[in-house]
Amino acid sequence: MKISIGSKIVQGPWGGGNLFAINLSNYLTEKGHKVSYDLTDPELDLILLTDPRSRSESSSTFNHKEIEKYKKFINPNVAVVQRINECDERKNTDNINSFYLNASSVADHVVFVSTWLKNIYVDIGMEEKKTSVILAGANKQIFNNKNHSKWDGLEKIKIVTHHWSSHKNKGFDIYQIIDQMVSSEEWKDKIEFTYIGNLNDDYKLNNTNTVQPLAGLNLANELKKHHLYVTASINEPSGNHHIEAAQCGLPILYTESGGIPEYCDNFGISFVTDFEDKLRTIIKDYDLFLKRMSTYPFSADKMCDDFFHLFEKLINEKNQNKIEFKIGPKGKFLIVRNKASNKIKTNIFTNMQHTLGSYYRKYKRWKI
């Protein structure tokens, strides 16, 4: 197979969409398939649209309009899949849902990261028969329960969360409550709280252990030092954070919101406005939930298997109904333009990565 994934690959902490692209790329490459991230190959079997927004708003390398031109002038036999992991509900925007719905017209199939998210788009007019749900997962070679710290029932229970985004909907109101609990009479000898990632300046976490954003083994090792994971993220379509923690063996205390319950049900306890009561309950039943974590079913391997089977099905369908086509002058021009444009964008993005990396290293060193 020749598959193009419409996403830049960023090394280091960069959010769940980037991790998805890395995991799927590695999976396909290991199976002997050719993976690219642009539309320069005229013989692609499948295109995966990860985000139709502009490159200034996302990490995408091409959008739905560029795919339309590719199909029309270069290769009408290519299969197109759109993966949607975003919605207006997540960050209180008002233009994402309609824009993604419009972009989906270019796709043969649309994959959602949760049923909760799928229902949002079906309710506004997406054709349900062209959709499916593939739940996300993390790399189990990195995120696993080897050497995970188990709570002995005597020491303080160590609670942790982590987020790349500092948006308030990630749950900072609850994290601030936990921060205050840490110094309260009831809880000061019972809990510790660690926040890994980018902080929101509107919420002060004075009693919390804060750690700069981490990724890969560094993140996994830090998570494994703790006993219990909390996520208060609101209207999250899926999120990688709780998946990484669950694969590391941490029971999850999670908000009853968005697609998160689809990942955490049976592997922790949900809360709405009763956080302290649910914290007491999960501490009391800690051993029960800890045993369940070894059966946590989601991983990058399962996710990639599901995508691979879908890709095979769609490509086979296209091959059975192949259109005879010869690339004309406009198609040849688009290929040349795509190659030139890709080279320029790659150079710009590489320079941007180096610049941001330099600033981030200075930030860590100087603690600005």
Confidence band of 41 (pLDDT split at 50, 70, 90): very high
Spatial separation of the C-alpha atoms in residues 239 and 191, rounded to whole Å: 25
* Domains of the chain as residue ranges with CATH: 2-137+300-366 (3.40.50.2000), 157-295 (3.40.50.2000)
The first and second tokens of residue 265, run together, are 């049900």
Provide the pLDDT for residue 367: 44
Mean pLDDT over each residue of the chain, to the nearest integer: 91
Question: Residue 57: is it exposed, middle or buried by C-beta count within 10 angstroms (0-12/13-18/19+)?
Answer: exposed
Q: In this structure, are strands 252-255 and 268-271 parallel, antiparallel, or unpaired?
A: parallel
> How far is C-alpha 4 from the chain's CA centre?
19
Q: In the predicted model, is pLDDT for residue 32 greater than 90?
A: yes
Name the pTM for this structure. Answer: 0.89
Provide the pLDDT for residue 362: 47
247 to 161, 241, 307: CA distances (angstroms)? 14, 10, 20
Q: In the predicted model, is pLDDT for residue 58 greater than 70?
A: no
Q: In the predicted model, is pLDDT for residue 8 greater than 90?
A: no
Whether the CA torsion 80, 74, 29, 314 is positive or negative: it is positive
> Among residues 142, 143, 121, 145, which one has the least CA distance to residue 132?
121
Spatial separation of the C-alpha atoms in residues 139 and 210, rounded to whole Å: 24
Rg (CA), the chain: 22
Q: Is 156 helix (H, G, I), strand (E, B) or coil?
A: coil
Instruction: Give the model confidence (pLDDT) of 89-125 as tens digits.
Output: 998 999 999 999 999 999 999 999 999 999 999 999 9
Spatial separation of the C-alpha atoms in residues 168 and 202, rounded to whole Å: 8
Q: What is the largest CA-CA distance in the chain?
A: 76
User: How many Cβ atoms sit within 10 Å of the Cβ of residue 358?
Assistant: 10
- Percent of the chain at pLDDT exceeding 90: 83
Question: HEC string of 254-312?
Answer: EECCCCHHHHHCCCEEEECCCHHHHHHHHHHCHHHHHHHHHHCCCCHHHHHHHHHHHHH
Element (H, E) at 87: none
Element (H, E) at 48: strand 46-49
In this prediction, residues 341-360 reach a mean pLDDT of 58
Q: In the predicted model, is pLDDT for residue 300 greater than 60?
A: yes
Confidence band of 79 (pLDDT split at 50, 70, 90): very high
User: How many Cβ atoms sit within 10 Å of the Cβ of residue 88?
Assistant: 16
Confidence band of 343 (pLDDT split at 50, 70, 90): confident
